[in-house]
Structures are given as C-alpha cells and as structure tokens.
Chains A and B, each alone.
Chain A
Amino acid sequence: MRKYTPKDNVQGKAYHTDRFWVAPSVPRTDASEDAHFAALLEKIKESIAVKDAYIQIGQMVVHINPEDNIAALRLVKEACDYAMCTEISAVDYLAQEGEFEVFYQMLNLKKAKRIRIVTRLKEGQAIESVVPLFNSANFAEREMYDMFGIVANNHPFMKRILMPDDWEGHPLLKTYPLQGDEAASWYEVDKIFGKEYREIIGAENRDPSKIDRYDTKRFSRVGYEVPFDADISEGEKETPIEYSETLLVNYNKSSKQLDERR
C-alpha cells in the first residue's frame, strides 16, 4: 500500500519526531514593555480594532481585521512615521485554519523601529491593495498573488510576476506538489484508448528530446539510410548506395596524425 500523504500539505516532513516532544515557543512580551510601541498601540487602538498585539524578538506584531488594512497602514504611515513598507507577503494556513496570514512589515526610519501588521484572510478572499500608500506594494502584492493566489483589489497591474503568465497553480501553497506527476504519461493513453490498452499502446512519450535509435519513422539515419518504417531491430541491411564523404566524417579521428604524414 502506498504511504498516505495528506493532500492539504504535501511539503517535506520530519521523518521522526519524538512522541513526547512539545515545541517550545519564542517568548512574547506585552506591548506595554516598550514605551514607543505602547504609545503606538494606543494610537492604533483608537480607530482600529486590534485583535492581538505583542512584542516578539524586538518587533511589535499587531493583528487586525483584513478590512482595516488600508486604514491601519495609513495611520502608522502618516501619524507614526512608519514611512516604509519593507515587505508584504503571506503564510499559508489553509490546511490548519483555512486561512492565509498576510503581513505588512513596516519600518520607522526616525526611531529605527519595526512593526508587523498581520491580518488573516479566508481562502478566496481578496484584500485591498495598499499601492496608494506604498508603491513598494506594487511588486510585493503581485508576488503575493503569484505565489499564493491572494488577489489585491484595485492594484494597478494584478498579474503574475515571477512565474509565466500561463502558469497553473500558485507555487508557495502547501498543496502545490514538489515533484511532477509520475502517472502523467498514462493520462492521454487512458483517455483515448482506455486503461485496458495500456500494454498494447505503451506510455506516452513526454520527453521532446527523446531519441529512439530503432525508430525509422521519425528519425533519419544519416549515412546509413534504410527504407521508411523498416524494422532494423535485428540490424540494418547493407545498402549499395555510395554516400558523400562529407557526411561520413569520422570525428573520432584527428585529421593530423603523425604516421599518416610520413
């Protein structure tokens, strides 16, 4: 029996985990521990619903509702000097919670402080683009769309950025396969002839650079011509035709050999 792999997360897994092992957590401290962050959080809370806020590894993380993203970013940009949005991306939690986590990494250049504004999106839910506030979102949101399929509404050019335009699927989803489909060479055969003809028809050739030495239909044999569609699996017959010397150069032999010159 084939090993069961969950379809909602096909990524690499640890091959062994101790039964009693519990992952510790990075400590979170309250936002009130840092004067700057505390004041900032107060300001955000005045107008925006904050679901959770804490400091983790020197940066404040603020969880908000996805509808408030523009308002929150405008507030921290205009009132709190967070002039740069250095990164926008997402984390795939579809398997666990059916949600994406989208984060906006903000930088205050005057005080050298960073915060991360985090929001959760349901699958298929779009988020409002923040390009009117930060042009850096232009590329970042396109990448987020390309990698996760999260659409940013009112983005000036919501298209794929890294993958080709006609690509199927979004590579950073946990459901995205890590390898090609090994059964793919049978799909066309099954569709056209039916599964029972597999042995007769054989697997479809999906390698465009494949060369079959005995295939006299699709491949020519320069210098050793045989009739079209002849069976040469037993070795080809001698042909009385003489060929041009230029076609039959022996590349293994060097043209300048000392014994020949003598």
Chain B
Amino acid sequence: MMQQPNKLVPFFENLNFERDDNTMVVNFGPQHPSAHGQLRLMLELEGEKVVKAYPDIGYLHRGIEKMAENMTYNEFLPTTDRLDYIASTANNYAYAHAVEKLLGIEAPRRAQAIRTMLLELNRIISHLFFIATHALDVGAMSVFLYAFREREFAMDLMEDYCGARLTHSSVRIGGVPLDLPEGWLAQMMTFLDKMEHELEHTYEALLTENRIWKMRLEDVGVIDAEDALSWGCTGPILRGAGVQYDVRKEEPYELYGELDFDIPVSDRNDAYGRYMLHVEEMRQSARIIRQVMPIYRKSEPQLMAHAPQYLSAPKEEIMTQNYALMQHFVLVTQGMRPPKGEVYAPTESPKGELGFYIKSEGEPYAYRLKCRAPSFYHTGILQKVLVGTYLADVVTMISSSNIVFGEVDR
C-alpha cells in the first residue's frame, strides 16, 4: 500500500492501530525472521484471531522473466539459480528440460543418471532445510542445528560435483557439464546412510511424536483437496491434501519412468501431515538415488547430447576439428536458435510443480519465458488459509507452506 506522508499523516512503516470495529491491523514483515524472505503479510486481527490476511509480495522482484527475454538461452541458465535458491539444480533442470523439449533433444543416459541423482540430492537438501526452519519457526531450535549438519554434508557433495554450494548451475541444456568426480558415489552412499539414520533417530525422534510439536502442528493450516486444486497448490501441499499427484510419476522425465519409488500422500490436510510427507519424501529420494547408481555405472561416458545445430561439440572436438570450432563460435557469439513454437514443461521441484513456459520466435532470445513457480501459488493461498486461525499459527502455516521468495517474486 502506498502511503502519502505529510506532516499531519506521518509515514507508518508498521501499521499498528486500533480501529472502530475493534480489529487491529498488524504488519507482519517484510523483515521478519520467520517470513522466509521478504513476505509482508497484513493481518487484520480480532483479538488473537486473524479475520483477514493479505500477503504483499514483490520485495525480491528482480525481473527474471524480463532478463530471460534479453539473454540467449545458455546465458539465462545461471539466472535460474536465483529462483528457488534452496534447491538451484531443480530450477536449472526445469529450464533445461523446457528448452530441450523445444529443441526436441534428449540428454544421454549418463547425463540423465547424474541429473536424476542431483535432483534428488537437491530435494533432500531442500527438505532438510524445510524441517530445520519449520522446527525453528515453531520453536524447536535443536532440530535446526542437527538438520543443518546433514545439509552441510549434502552441500559438500554438491560442491564436489559443481564447485558451488548454493547457485549450482549444475545442468546444461542438452546434458551436464561434468562427470561425477572420483569417489563421489561412495560419499553419496555414506551421506544417504547417515541421513536416513539421522532422519529416524534424530529428526523423527525429536519431532514426530513430540507432544509440543504435535500440538503446534496438528489441525493447523488446514488445506483440503478442493482448496489446494482451486488455488493451484502443488507438491507437498497438494499431496498433503490427499491428492496423489507427482509430476515425476504421472508425467515422468529423465529416469523417473523406470525407477521404483512411492509417492507419499497424507489425507490429514494439516501442517503435521505435510511435515510427515517431507520426511517420507526424503526416504524416497534416498531410495531413488540408490537405484540410479548402478544405472550410472552401466552408462556410456557421453555427457552432452549430439545436436550440432544447437549445442557445442565436446571440448576435444572443438580443439581438433575445424567445423566443430566454427559451430562453437557461432553458438557462443550468437546463441542457439530454437525452432518457432511454444512449450510448457512441468517438473516436480522440491516445492511443487515448477514449469517453464517458453515461446520461441526462432530468435536466439526467448520471445517470452514464464516461470511457473510453485511458491507463488502457495503464497496466494495464505489469504485463504490464515483466516480464522490464531496469530501464533500464522508462523507455522508460513513455514509449513515452504515458500521461497526468490521463486515467488522472480
């Protein structure tokens, strides 16, 4: 809300005043430790009860969609790191996936195996972060420290692979840039064992049957299936409302079609059910990574798809063959030109359905790129869910929806 301050009406950064109808407006955020970034939530309170909630977003708006229209396809890929910065590979992949569908190319099998492993590792990182911050917001400080210890291990694995801990850019259009380093799979196995052990003996032992945890989470932030569908909620919120829909299972991409994993569902509709879902999804992610390891070992060493019109040849070819060098030069200086057409490619990011709509006019710049971010819609439903709840549960609901503002504001 834009205020026009003058001497009679001073500027109130925090609106906080009694009103005639005995409700009070409380400005929650945009700098609030449990707002998960820059969420400004204007709450109208009647005593402790929320009668109206109005999420105000845009504090982290960087115009990523506009940037996409003015960058070549490969240039834009590192920008996608800045969407959901908790699990960047999921964004990199979603973007690369959409462009690959537009180009009509498919990554080689080894790249697919690496991508699947990285995606699931990112899911684990994101879910560990969810459990940590969710517990912290509700008041369980120690879980935060334990979960971040394991997350650190996972981030080290990401660092070993791509050199970055947060902004990975670990996927390329048409494949992956690097093969897994020596001993990475063994370390991954160690991590998975440790993570599963800690999951059972630390996080679940501390939280799942914890009396306070249950009292704070049960029947809080109730989103039923009808609401979830209507408000466009996906991912754990949709599955937490009893709708079994996971893009990995229903519209499989990469290796998900041939892997054996379950999609956990909860019909509790509340924050506790969603917490349980996240825990179970981490187990399933570990299961997926374990299945992909032998597929990786059996695969051919090729990492990038062969599509000379769109993708540069491998480095050895560029350095030895003239034509490959010429192709590379054109692709680097002008950028690839996908065919005219439009594509919407959904993927299952840790937060929900992350899809990129790309409209190409045959130019090296996308004519229009729309990022369908799950957190955007999960923020939208706050105006419905928070009404009727108590102020103390607002924080629980925000952290339970697992929104990340890089993705909401783009």
Using CB atoms and an 8 Å cutoff, list the residues of chain A in contact with chain B: 11-17, 23-26, 28, 56-57, 59, 61, 83-87, 89, 91-92, 103, 105, 109, 112, 114, 116, 134-136, 138-140, 143, 147, 160-166, 171-172, 176, 178
A25, A136, A138: the one within 8 Å of B339 (CB): A25
**Quick one: closest B residue to A159, CB to CB?**
B1
**Quick one: closest B residue to A174, CB to CB?**
B69
Whether A23 lies near B362 (C-beta < 8 A) is yes
A109 and B353 contact, Cβ closer than 8 Å, known pairs A23-B362, A57-B102:
no
Interface segment, B5-13, B148-156, B228-236, B264-272? B228-236
Whether A105 lies near B69 (C-beta < 8 A) is no
Whether A24 lies near B232 (C-beta < 8 A) is no
Whether A91 lies near B334 (C-beta < 8 A) is no
Residues of B within 8 A of A139 (CB): 376-377, 379-380
Of the candidates B335, B342, B345, the one having the most CB atoms from chain A within 10 angstroms of its own CB is B342
Whether B357 lies near A87 (C-beta < 8 A) is yes
Interface pairs (17), CB distance under 8 Å: A12-B71, A12-B365, A14-B335, A16-B333, A84-B229, A84-B232, A86-B346, A86-B353, A87-B355, A87-B370, A87-B372, A89-B357, A91-B368, A109-B229, A135-B232, A139-B379, A139-B380
Residues of A within 8 A of B250 (CB): 109, 112
Residues of B within 8 A of A161 (CB): 57-58
Cβ < 8 Å to A, chain B residues 74-117: 101-102, 104
Residues of B within 8 A of A89 (CB): 357, 370
| New A-B pairs, 10, CB < 8 Å, besides A23-B340, A86-B355, A135-B231 | A16-B334, A17-B334, A25-B341, A57-B341, A83-B229, A86-B353, A87-B232, A87-B372, A112-B250, A135-B384
A56, A86, A103, A135: the one within 8 Å of B341 (CB): A56
Residues of A within 8 A of B357 (CB): 87, 89, 103, 105
B393 within 8 A of A: no
A17 CA to B330 CA in the complex, in Å?
Answer: 11
Tell me the dominant secondary structure on chain A's binding face.
loop
Render B212-228 as a binary contact track against A, CB cut-off 8 A, 1 for contact: 00000000000000010
A178 CA to B379 CA in the complex, in Å?
Answer: 29
Whether B372 lies near A86 (C-beta < 8 A) is yes
Tell me the dominant secondary structure on chain B's binding face.
mixed
Chain A proximity of B358: nearest CB distance (Å)? 10
A164 and B2 contact, Cβ closer than 8 Å, known pairs A134-B230, A136-B230:
yes
Chain B proximity of A171: nearest CB distance (Å)? 6
Whether A91 lies near B1 (C-beta < 8 A) is no
Whether A26 lies near B57 (C-beta < 8 A) is no
Whether A23 lies near B337 (C-beta < 8 A) is yes
Interface segment, B60-68, B164-172, B193-201, B280-288? B60-68
**Quick one: closest A residue to B368, CB to CB?**
A91
A135 and B361 contact, Cβ closer than 8 Å, known pairs A23-B340, A87-B370, A109-B245:
no
Chain B proximity of A62: nearest CB distance (Å)? 13
Chain A proximity of B247: nearest CB distance (Å)? 9
Whether A162 lies near B58 (C-beta < 8 A) is yes
B325 within 8 A of A: no
Residues of B within 8 A of A87 (CB): 232, 344, 355, 357, 370, 372
Whether B69 lies near A11 (C-beta < 8 A) is yes
A73 CA to B333 CA in the complex, in Å?
Answer: 43
A26, A138, A176, A178: the one within 8 Å of B380 (CB): A138
B207 within 8 A of A: no
B350 within 8 A of A: no
Cβ < 8 Å to A, chain B residues 363-383: 363-365, 367-368, 370, 372, 376-377, 379-381, 383
A91 and B341 contact, Cβ closer than 8 Å, known pairs A12-B70, A112-B250:
no
B132 within 8 A of A: no
Whether A114 lies near B367 (C-beta < 8 A) is no
Chain A proximity of B133: nearest CB distance (Å)? 23
A162 and B229 contact, Cβ closer than 8 Å, known pairs A16-B334, A25-B340, A56-B342:
no
B137 within 8 A of A: no
A164 CA to B409 CA in the complex, in Å?
Answer: 12
A136 CA to B223 CA in the complex, in Å?
Answer: 14
A136 and B231 contact, Cβ closer than 8 Å, known pairs A14-B335, A165-B1, A171-B63:
yes
Chain A proximity of B38: nearest CB distance (Å)? 11
**Quick one: closest A residue to B1, CB to CB?**
A165
B359 within 8 A of A: yes
Whether A92 lies near B334 (C-beta < 8 A) is no
Residues of A within 8 A of B384 (CB): 135
